[in-house]
Amino acid sequence: MGSLDLSIIVLYLIGMVLIGFATQRRAARNQDQFLVAGRSVGRVLYSGTLAAVIIGGGATVGGVKLGYTYGISGMWLVSMYGLGIIVMGLWLVPRILRLELYTIPELLARTYGNSARIAGGIVMGCYDFMIVVVATTAIGAIAEVLIGVSRTQSILICSAVMIGYSVLGGMWALTITDIVQFAIKTVGILFVLLPVAIARAGGLAHMHQALPPGFFSLTHIGWSKISAFVTLYFLGILIGQDGWQRVFTARNVATARSGGLIVGLYCIVYAAAGALIGAAGRVFLPPLRDADLAFAQIVNVALPLGLRGLVLAASLAAIMSTATSCLLATSTVFLQDVWLTLKEAKGTGSVAQSRALTLILGSLAAATACVVHDVIAALTVGYDLLVGSIWIPTLAAMIWGRGVWSAALVSIAASAVVVVALVCALGIESVAPLYGGLGTSLVLFATLTGVNRRGRAN
């Protein structure tokens, strides 16, 4: 990588830290400012920051990988993010935003009691923490290929930047940095890499001729993978703390609803772009042993100096926005839903507590990313647990606002056991743990709720 490309990356990282310093005083006022930006974010800021969170490293690098492997049907994964955000914005937001929550497990407490809140908080917190680790690992992998810096060095440098502005400015820092990252990502991926990659592949007409049959079919990836994407990512986005914590920053319901629709449509456009970039790379790249390298190799081969730095900054922006959002979500959940609930403390804790926990968890995530190379198994189990064990009681709380504590607690615990057991028996590639957990949760929750209501009626 040339000095111009490296200068772009350095300036980008310095800019992120400066934003943290600029927002630290505002964030220090109280927990409302630090955790949810005072619930005062307008439509433009809200839409940009939500898009930055949803379209992270997995959507960018993973979307290109799926496009390289399956063609245009690789857009299903990121499209499910978009569809989930649209449903969340139009259907669930009006029910939830007026409650002025900090976390989704807090909703479980209002409906089922503190036992469900603690159980849900542990699952949610562990899931978000693993996303931070995966995102941090991805930063190291990309920087190692494109910059030539060692994996550990790049992880430590970028982690220091992410932890720094997150601890300093909290949600205000994340909101402002995410707007910058959203702009960089949109320009770098949609307006630079997409047209350059297609041109390098000889245009769409040549791609039709050169690519394997089915690469321009929306179902080429297979219905089993499509159904898995729907179940994992569409359902998961509806209850994820990282997304909802951004929703809680919206000034009002109208802002959150319109912003959700805008971001959902943006996700679908971004999904198509990633799939086309990957498919174009299949034409001009030599066969890759590891499709995970498709994004980095396309950037290396297709882009000249300068533009390469911009697109690398875009990929780092995508990953860092997700990592910092999940880092703040992790510290918020563990403080509000686990620690303070176990202590039976009143109030929401202090900004100092939130900052300290964010620093500790961020440092732990960086250390984990340095020593553990393959965390996909843990992330898969975390996602299976999130959707398989707490989706049913959480959605019930969102829709009906009432429920039976024993039904929630038993369904969460039993479905978690089923998920882990099936993962151990069938492996992380199987979708059976997810469906087994969902089925167990639904049956137990519905049965115990019905028994309780019949008992009350008698």
Sign of torsion over alpha carbons 289, 291, 293, 299 = positive
Q: Is the pLDDT of residue 457 over 60?
A: no
d(C-alpha 163, C-alpha 152), whole Å = 16
pLDDT of residue 7: 86
Q: pLDDT band at residue 309, thresholds of 50, 70 and 90?
A: confident
Least confident of 168-177, 308-317, 391-400: 308-317
Closest CA to 384 of 337, 431, 426: 431
Q: What residues form DSSP beta bridges with 424?
A: none
Confidence of residue 381 (pLDDT cuts 50, 70, 90): confident
Least trusted range by pLDDT, from 74-88, 354-368, 415-429: 415-429
Question: Which pLDDT score is estimated for 117?
Answer: 94
Report the pLDDT averaged over residues 124-130: 92
Instruction: Say what the pLDDT of residue 273 is.
Output: 97
Residue 2 backbone zone (phi > 0: left; psi -120 to 50: alpha; other: beta): beta
For the residues 336-345, what does the mean pLDDT come to? 92
Q: Pick the closest to residue 173 from 163, 158, 183 (CA basis).
A: 163
Q: Mean pLDDT: which of 56-65, 228-237, 320-329 is highest?
A: 320-329
How confident is the model at residue 125, as a pLDDT?
Answer: 94
- Cβ–Cβ under 8 Å, residues 351 and 173: no
Chain segment 144-155, per-residue pLDDT in tens: 766 778 889 989
- Looking at residue 74, what is its pLDDT? 95
pLDDT of 3 higher than 70: yes
Longest dimension (CA), the chain: 77
Average pLDDT, whole number, for the chain?
A: 91
Lowest mean pLDDT among 56-65, 218-227, 374-383, 404-413: 374-383
Note the pLDDT of residue 403.
Answer: 81
Of 113-122, 131-140, 243-252, 412-421, the one with minimum mean pLDDT is 131-140
Mean pLDDT, to the nearest integer, of 95-105?
93
- Cα distance between residue 162 and residue 20, in whole Å: 9
How confident is residue 254, by pLDDT bands cut at 50, 70 and 90? very high
CB 4 within 8 A of CB 147: no
* Residue 374: band (very low, low, confident or very high) from pLDDT cuts 50, 70, 90: low
The percentage of the chain sitting over the pLDDT mark of 70, rounded to a whole number, equals 97
What domains can you pick out in the chain, each with its CATH number? 3-372 (1.20.1730.10), 376-458 (no CATH)
**Res 384: pLDDT:** 87
pLDDT confidence of residue 455? 65
- Do 393 and 408 touch, CB atoms closer than 8 A? yes
Q: What is the mean pLDDT of residues 112-140?
A: 90
Tell whether the model's pLDDT for residue 59 goes beyond 80: yes
* In the predicted structure, residue 378 carries a pLDDT above the cut 70: no
Q: Where are the alpha helices (DSSP H) in 303-431?
A: 307-333, 340-342, 351-371, 376-400, 405-426
- Give the pLDDT mean for 337-354: 91
Q: Measured on CA atoms in the order 361, 366, 371, 374, is the torsion positive or negative? A: positive
Instruction: Please identify which residue in the block is written with the tokens 């300093």.
Output: 168
Higher pLDDT, 309 or 396: 396
Q: Residue 205 is inside which H or E element, if any?
A: helix 203-210
